[in-house]
């Protein structure tokens, strides 16, 4: 989690006054860091109202720089382009991630930073039992090749995949 947050903050800092979209923003934990890093506008989208309530509490000190949207990212009414789009902890649960990659490209004028789980023989079976068998929540794993193909097909010109201990990080440019 630290590595993906640090990459998001570094990319935000590489822009002057960036507009940031956080897809699956959850409780706004990463939003706090990117706003502190210089985001002039932060839009968080999530389908879980409870998480948006937590995000509202956490991000209230940033005032009008924050807008939270309840709904499905694929259908949410989002205006304009974003310098940075975040998809951290999102792709684990998407059965059709290519739709999200395409919508991200449509809304992106700069960079996407996203995280992806990858299968490993230590944590993979535990996650499978915990999420799919016990909680009836399908989870998905990715390879570098799949990510390069998915984001390249979505229209991103540069796709960098960074290997982490428990997953993959992606930095793609529109």
Give tens-digit pLDDT for 97-146. 999 999 999 999 999 999 987 756 666 666 666 666 777 767 778 889 99
pLDDT tens for 5-20 read 999 999 999 999 999 9
Greatest Cα-to-Cα distance within the chain, rounded to the nearest angstrom: 45
Superfamily designation of domain 2-173: Vaccinia Virus protein VP39 (3.40.50.150)
Helices (H), ranges, the chain: 2-13, 29-36, 49-59, 97-107, 124-127, 144-154
Q: What is the pLDDT of residue 117?
A: 77
Domain residue extents for the chain: 2-173
**Portion of the chain with pLDDT greater than 90, in percent:** 75
pLDDT of 126: 66
Residues 158 and 173: beta-carbon distance below 8 Å: yes
Angle at CA 89, nearest 5°, toward 85 and 92? 115
Highest mean pLDDT among 6-10, 90-94, 164-168: 6-10
DSSP letter at 88 equals S
Pick from 120, 24, 37: which is nearest to 72 by CA? 24
Whole-model pTM: value is: 0.91
Any bridge partners for residue 44, and if so which? 22, 68
């Amino acid at each position: 989690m630290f590595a993906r947050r640090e990459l998001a903050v570094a990319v935000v800092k590489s822009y002057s006054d960036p507009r940031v979209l956080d897809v699956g923003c959850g409780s706004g934990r990463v939003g706090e860091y990117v706003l502190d890093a210089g985001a002039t506008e932060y839009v968080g989208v999530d389908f879980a109202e409870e998480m948006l309530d937590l995000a509202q509490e956490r991000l209230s000190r940033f005032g009008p720089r924050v807008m939270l949207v309840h709904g499905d990212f694929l259908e949410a009414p989002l205006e304009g382009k974003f310098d940075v789009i975040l998809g951290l902890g999102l792709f684990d649960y998407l059965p059709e991630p290519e739709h999200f990659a395409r919508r991200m490209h449509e809304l992106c004028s700069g960079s996407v930073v996203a995280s992806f789980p990858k299968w490993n023989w230590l944590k993979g079976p535990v996650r499978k039992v915990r999420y799919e068998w016990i909680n009836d929540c399908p989870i998905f794993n990715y390879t570098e090749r799949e990510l390069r193909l998915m984001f390249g097909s979505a229209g991103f010109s540069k796709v960098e995949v960074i290997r982490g201990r428990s997953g993959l990080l992606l930095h793609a440019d529109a």
